[in-house]
Structure 1
């Protein structure tokens, strides 16, 4: 049987009973609402910056900062050939392959690893 003291202690207990509170549902990652890129263009698009860029990856749907990697391009090969023709026979003609400022830049997604675009040192027109 309940007494007046029981009513007073029940009124002070404002926390809900643990059995009455539903457990939080485990959230599963939902499918992103984006369309994968279509094959409307051939090759990788060109961009006008050799610096990492913040982009939305069209492959995984994440907002990312691109990872840049130097790759040999037309300018690198032209400089190597020019140095070889003008007398740098003993390996000095290979210097452009070790200097990032003479190489093209490949931008990739750090999450999924897809190549997003290239920056070309020569012929930077966007297709």
Structure 2
């Protein structure tokens, strides 16, 4: 009995999947070593973006290409200095004018990558 004709069959043996390991070297891959993809979709992070939040956010780092949860650092910004100056003018010159430097909700926020430590976002309290 003759085999049935298959239009997709080219007469060769079916292809086998290559063994796991580094291609071309024949050695097995090192355990725990994973490839790092550095290509970020266009338009996702054009340079350093302005993020409208002061809490850590999940993101893709445009520098190292890893999926991360950003690390936030509070820095004195324009709002902090304006409040300090305003308190000083209205009589709080004995140290009370420094209170805005202790309140996180008055400071700007820098979002950075925990792996490569590059600045990713900068959140300005006063969007000037």
Scaled by the length of structure 1, the TM-score of the pair is 0.68
Q: CA RMSD in A?
A: 2.4
Distance 1:96 1:89 in 2: 13
RCO greater where, 1 or 2, for CA within 8 Å and sep 6 or more?
1
2:74 is aligned with 1:66: no
Runs of 4+ aligned structure 1 residues displaced above 2 Å come to 26-33
Distance of 1:66 and 1:121 partners within structure 2:
18
Distance 1:33 1:119 in 2: 25
Distance 1:33 1:71 in 2: 29
Identify unmatched segments of 5+ residues in structure 1. 1-22
CA distance in 2, matches of 1:115, 1:88: 35
In the TM superposition, what is the alpha-carbon distance from 1:53 to its structure 2 partner? Answer: 0.3
